[in-house]
Structure 1
Amino acid sequence: MATLGPAVSSLRASLALLDSSISILDEGVSDFPRLRRVLQTQQHFELVPETTLKAAQQSLADEISPAIDQLLSTAESHLNQLARKEQSLKARHELLEGRLGSQKSSEVGQSSRYRRPSGAGRASGLPDAKALQMKRLQQKKDQLQFAIERLELQGKQKERELRKSMAFVKAED
């Protein structure tokens, strides 16, 4: 039996080594179900061919383009309308400033021309009827000057509007 002793001890060593290998493999394999779930690839997004994507983009652009063009033209016409209104208000401002300036100058001129000395009944030796007629004529002259200025300003404004509308028509062509 002495000859079988080393074979038995070698077999026992092999069995111990095999047990150790099985326990190591068991530890390594025990986590496989979790690893399989973790490593399993899931398709979260659907992959679409580039041609389909470009066709969808073109379709969307074709749908949205007319609405965008319409909104832009509406905004542009509104801006033109506001610009015309601004020009109109500027012209009116100039007109009212001119009116106010001519009114002040005529008041200053009238007060210096028709001021009567405190003791005298007449300013320049003219009778009262003549002075009143002169005053009326001066007022009529001032009114006519104002009307001329107003018409000139309106003419300039119409000219500006005509130039703008012509520029707008040229821009559309």
Structure 2
Amino acid sequence: MKKLIIAVIAALMPFMTTAQSFEKYENMKDVDAMIVTSKMFKMLAKVDLSDTDPEAKQYIKLIENLDQIRVFTSKDTKVRNQMANDVKSYLQGGSLEQLMRVTEDGKNIKFYSRPGKNDNYVSELFMFMEGNKDGEPISIILSITGQIDLSQLSRLTSDLKVPGAEELKNIENKS
């Protein structure tokens, strides 16, 4: 029994350390971080929007089903290298599928997803961008979790001014 417990813990360790590896960026000096939690989404869902507007209803439905949005951005070379290594480790866990790659304007952007309740939904949308923005090197990690309706996602990220929001429109068009 002891061996079984140790084997299970050893098997789960990569998943636990990977999730923690992104959390470390929250308090780093050379990282801009934005974390939006499910409590914030619930508060946004209570905002008095027109009940007769179907677009507003879809928007509320989208944000009610989100758990968290995490965005980490850095221009520091050392941090950017660390981010690239952590993303590589996270992706080696094998539970994310690549959706698309975009290379343009000095940016290399990769999108991944974890399957959701059906083909129109994902339980996690993950993006990693490396490249240049406004002439400076930059890396961005974006993770959105919950029951995510891909047809509504780009609107939310645009409203929240999330980096990579423009590229998300391409995913919406492919779903």
TM-score normalised according to structure 1 size: 0.20
| Greater share of strand | 2
Structure 2 length as normaliser, TM-score? Answer: 0.20
Tell me which of the two structures has the higher relative contact order, counting C-alpha pairs closer than 8 angstroms and 6 or more residues apart.
1
